[in-house]
Copies of this chain bind each other. A is one copy, B any other.
Amino acid sequence: MPNKSLHTVWHRATITRQRREQKNAHKSVVLWFTGLSGSGKSTLAHTVEEQLFLSGLSTFVLDGDNVRHGLCNDLGFSDTDRKENIRRISETAKLLLEAGVITLTAFISPFKAERATARNLMPNGDFIEIYCFCPLPVCERRDVKGLYKKARLGEIKDFTGISSPYEEPENPELIINTSQFTLEESAQLVISLLRDRNILSAVE
């Protein structure tokens, strides 16, 4: 058998993001939800995803459930580890963006610098920061996972809002006061923003 491949140039095919967006008939984007524990980030992200998915769009949510036990299972909650956590999430979101997927991330992401790094990693306009604002006392009253109680007792260290800072976004694309809106209303705010930015319309 002749050694064909030695005499054949193996051309490299590449499917670009643009071709994926054309196939999907919508643009890809990163929706970066940030806010205190209990502010409703993850619930809102999943609700927005469901609405988009049911409209036929390609979507995915990165959150603590699928990242902390997997890609970032070697990281703790020190400042250094939080920084690396957000870096990896940002890079993964960027891959999903390239894959043509509307990517929703739901992490406290308390530090301005890391959110800025995430934003700067994406092409201009492809990073939409959504601040899920909720007063600390309300988050603490909800305390769905019982984490605030443990943090107050000192059983959890470096807990955002209690023993570790949350640096509020200065200029997010959207602020939602989740203590004042229902889940449906909050989801509608996000989807309206995507419509206004022509993310959901077919790509030329």
Binding site for B on A (CB under 8 A): 1, 3-6, 8, 10-15, 19-20, 23, 40, 42-44, 46-47, 49-50, 53, 56, 58-60, 62, 66-67, 70-71, 88, 91-92, 94-96, 98-99, 101, 138, 141-142, 178-183
Q: How far is the CB of A198 from chain B (nearest CB, A)?
A: 22
How many chain copies does the complex carry?
2
Residues of chain B contacted by A46 (CB below 8 angstroms): 12-15
Name the residue of chain B whose CB is nearest to the CB of A49: B15
Decide if A6 touches B62 in the complex (CB within 8 Å): no
Chain B positions within 8 Å of A96 at CB level: 95-96, 99
User: A53 touches which one: B23, B49, B178 (CB < 8 A)?
Assistant: B23
Residues of B close to A1: CB separation below 8 A = 180
Whether the Cβ atoms of B95 and A42 lie closer than 8 Å is no
Question: What residues of B have a CB within 8 angstroms of the CB of A42 in the complex?
Answer: 12
